[in-house]
Structures are given as structure tokens and as C-alpha cells.
Amino acid sequence: MVDLLHNDLKQLITAEEAYAYRIIPNGYTEESIGFLSDTSSKEALVQELSIIYNKTIHIELTAPDTLTELLAKNYRKSNQSETLDYNLNFLEKLLITAKNYGSSDIHIEPYEKYSRVRFRIDGHLIEQFKINQSQYPQIVNQVKIKAGLDISQKRLSQDGRIAINTEGNEFDIRVSCLPTLHGEKIVMRILKRDTSDINLEHLGFTKKELQVYKEGIKNPNGIILISGPTGSGKTTTLYGTLKLLNEESRNITTIEDPIEYTLEGINQVQLKEDIGFDFPSALRTFLRQDPDIIMVGEIRDEKTANMAIKAALTGHLVFSTIHTNSAWATISRLIDMNIPPFLIASTLKISMAQRLVRKLCPECKKECPVSKEQFPMDFDIPKDIKHSYTAVGCQDCHFTGYSGRIAIYEILPMNKALEQFVQSGHYDIAPYLKEQGIPTLNENALRLLRSGLTSSEEIYSLLSHRI
């Protein structure tokens, strides 16, 4: 049995960590650490420690009495200042680990009897570990200090930003602090500085869809609209588009709320509605800035829609997003905003809907026969789908069964036939799409299911939708 630890082992963890987790280090390499523990939840402890130390963790079980004796011989209980140092170190490791996991957001949440940390990975929140209630206020204060927030203000929401500049890790964190019943909840959005991987070819377009979309964005003027719910990847598609169009000969200006990523060579403007600088007023200013391409974060109302139409009519190419369920529903939404059908027909170049679906982990996905229960009640399962794959979970995918996401699209390019369709006031678009060979969102979802890229659970809600 290990009695007194060598300094190199002892210094791997603080006394606070040793007592909090009831662990004693008993070996390490560059990539892993081994511990003695008397835990009854070995798997949970391994997961939590791997987050904190960002290494592979090995646990060797020992008797509680033995562990208590080892703790007493090797570590003295820490005071409050050591706890604060621990929390500060914990925060930096937490942020880097979340980024390495591919998380988009980190939620640090207080409840009556415990606090917890959750990562949003591939669009889904996954609990990582719980936090000792006594440490929670200190962790919140460290986040607020790092983000430049007022630590004495606990009754109002606050927003801030953290820059991470450690070796091999350079990214930004957008911080939101919200007072709740049991304390301040922290949500941190991870923002990449490097946008080199935002490329239209890698988002999920089929070869034909990408060709149609690229043809549409070659127009010198008009409107390109991308629809979908929050978190469906619209902003990423827009950024990929602007990167493709970004040339020295073009003046590109965006109005965003908020600015997610920095794009070199593009004039990005932050919306500031509290001082009256909203989408319509920004568009009016943009038109005096000699723009070639304008990106409006979102068309939310009739006023913004009218300004976007005006910009398109005066020779500018306008990109924006809108909240609708399909490409055709975007046209209906514009009509609801009192935009005349003839103006929609003459300015809209492409209406595109998109969704994000999680990709099955290739290391652990499991083939299974197709059953009626996997699909909506009124859905007719295509006869060529005899089997599908389901999520299992392994170490490679952090036991979620999924790894990464892919976009699926529904692209409606404007042409003479569709212009007449829009102006006629007809709303049954399905026959037109079938005639033109334009795949809908649910048809593209089934394509991914056939290929084994995703599961029936992931596309269930899409298959429930009828265009």
C-alpha cells in the first residue's frame, strides 16, 4: 500500500480536490492519471475527473478506512484561499474541455440541494457533473470576474465576454448571468475565432443542391432567405456563403444580433436596439455605405421586410433569415407581412429551409430492423427502407451515440414558373416540387436514414411535418 506520496504524485491534485472526491493519486503519464478511491460510483467519478484534469482517468478501488488514512497522512484540508485557486483552475479547464468536446454552450445551474454543469453537444444538453453547493458562489464569482461583470450585482442579469488565449486554445466565451430562485445561473457560449472550417462544401448540401444554391447567390441583386428554427444552423450557412462571396471588389456589410464569428474583410455591425439601432435603421444607413452585399441577421417584422425588399430593388444582394417551417412557408410569411406577391416574385432569388440532425457515431451505431413505432403514426414508410441504425454510446462519442451534426436542406430557386405560382395565390406547392424534382426536408431526412448517417429518432419531428 502507498503510504507517503512522492512530491510529483502529491502535487497532481490539491488537498481540496483530494478530500472533495476522496482520491489519492497513484500514478500518471502524459495522457492519464491513476487514483485510489473508495467511491461507489466509479463510472461517474471517472467522467467528472476527466473533465477537471482533461486526461484519461483510471480508478483503483480501496477500502474506506485505508483511503481515510492515506488522506490524513498526505493532505491537510485547505483553507478558503486555496479553494478559490482551485475554482479558478477548474474554470479554465472546464472551458477548454467543453471546447474539446465540441460543445456550443456550457450551463452552470444552481438548485435547492445541488448545482450542476451541462454541456450542449450537437444541440442536446448533457449533464457532466454536479458541484458542491459551498463552492458554487465562488465559481460564479470567478466567471463574473473573468467576464468583467459586477460580482456585487446579483439581482439583475448581466452579459460579458471571456477571451481564452492558452497554448493551442484561442477562442472567446460569451457569458450570460441570470438571477434564479436558488442563485445566479451562468450560460457560456463558445465562439470560435477560426472560421476556416465554415465551408459550404462541408455543411451537408448534396452536389445538386450546392450547384443550385451557388447559382442563386451569383445574382447581382435580389434576396436570399434561409428559414428554420433557432439552432438549425442558419447563421453558419450564411457565414459560409459570405466567405465564398468575399472578394476585394465587393463591399459586404452585416447587421447581426449578436455577432457570432469574426469574418476578415467583412464589415460586421452589432444590433443595439436599446439605443434605437435596429434592423430597419441599420439597413437605411447601409444603403448610404455603397454596399454590394448586405446580410440582415433576421427579418422579424414588416418594417425590416420592406427595407430588405427596397435594398434588393435598388441593386443590392440581400441575405437574411426568417422563422418558418419550410422554403414555401417563407413566401407565405412574407405575404403575411403585407409584401405584395409581385414584389416577392421579382426580388426573391432563393428560399431555403434547413435543419440540423445529429450523425450517428460510426464506432458504436447498431443496425436494427425498421418498425412502425420508429415513425409518426400517419407516416407511410418507404418500401425500400428495410433497416436503420440506432444510437448506442461509447467513449468516442462521450456515451451519447452521436458524433457531430449535418444540415439538411430544402432549396426553392425562383424561376418563371414559380413566379407565376407565387402571384397566382395558390398554396399547394407539393405537386410543383415533385414536378421539378426538388427534395423536401423530410425526403432529405430519409436519404440520411437510408445511408445510415442518422437515426429515425433524430428525424422523427421532420417526418411529422407536411409541406
Domain 80-192 has CATH 1.10.10.10: no
Residue 47's pLDDT is what? 80
| CATH 3.30.450.90, the chain: domain bounds | 80-192
| Count of CB atoms situated within 10 Å of the CB of 33 | 21
Q: How far apart are CA 290 and CA 154, in angstroms?
A: 45
| CATH 3.40.50.300, the chain: domain bounds | 200-463
Residue 15's pLDDT is what? 79
Residue 228's pLDDT is what? 94
Q: Given pLDDT bands bounded at 50, 70 and 90, which one contains residue 4? A: low
* pTM, entire model: 0.77
Q: How far apart are CA 129 and CA 151, in angstroms?
A: 24
Residues 6+ apart with CB under 8 A from 197: none
**Strand, coil or helix: what is 414?**
coil
Nearest Cα to Cα of residue 420 among 353, 331, 358? 331
- CATH number of the domain at 7-74, please? 3.30.300
Pick the more confident residue, 427 or 201: 201
**Strand, coil or helix: what is 29?**
coil
Is 135 in contact with 141 (CB distance < 8 Å)?
A: no
| CATH 3.30.300, the chain: domain bounds | 7-74
- Report residue 258: phi and psi, to 5°: -95, 180
Residue 17's pLDDT is what? 80
pLDDT (mean) for 120-128: 91
> Which of 17-21, 64-68, 102-106 holds the top average pLDDT?
102-106
Longest CA–CA separation in the chain, Å: 86
pLDDT (mean) for 250-264: 92
Arithmetic mean of pLDDT over the chain: 88
Least confident of 55-59, 206-210, 423-427: 423-427
CATH fold group of domain 200-463: Rossmann fold (3.40.50)
Handedness of CA 199, 200, 201, 204 (dihedral sign): positive
pLDDT for residue 374 is more than 90: no
pLDDT (mean) for 363-383: 84
